[in-house]
Amino acid sequence: MKSASRGDGLQVAVLGTGIMGSAMARNLVGAGLATTVWDQSSAATVALGNAGARVAESADEAVSGADVVITMLPTADAVSSVMFSGPATGFGPRAVWAQMGTIGVPATMEIADRLSHLRPDVLFVDSPVSGSKGPAEHGQLLILASGPAAAKPALDPVFGAIGRKTVWLGDVGAGSRMKLAVNAYMSVLIEGAAEALELAQRLGIEPAKLDEAIEGGPLDAPIADAKLHKMEQGDYAPEFPLQWALKDVDLAIQAAGDRPLPLLSALSQQWRSAVMDGHGREDISAARLALASR
Cβ neighbours of 276 (radius 10 Å): 10
- The active-site residue, picked from 2, 179, 227, 247, is 179
Stated length of the chain? 294
The Cα 73–Cα 78 span in angstroms is: 6
Catalytic residue flag (residue 133): no
Cβ neighbours of 2 (radius 10 Å): 17
Cβ-contact 205, 211 below 8 angstroms: no
DSSP 151: G
Strands (E), the chain: 11-15, 34-38, 54-55, 68-71, 96-99, 123-126, 129-130, 141-145, 163-168
The residues annotated with a catalytic role in the active site are 179
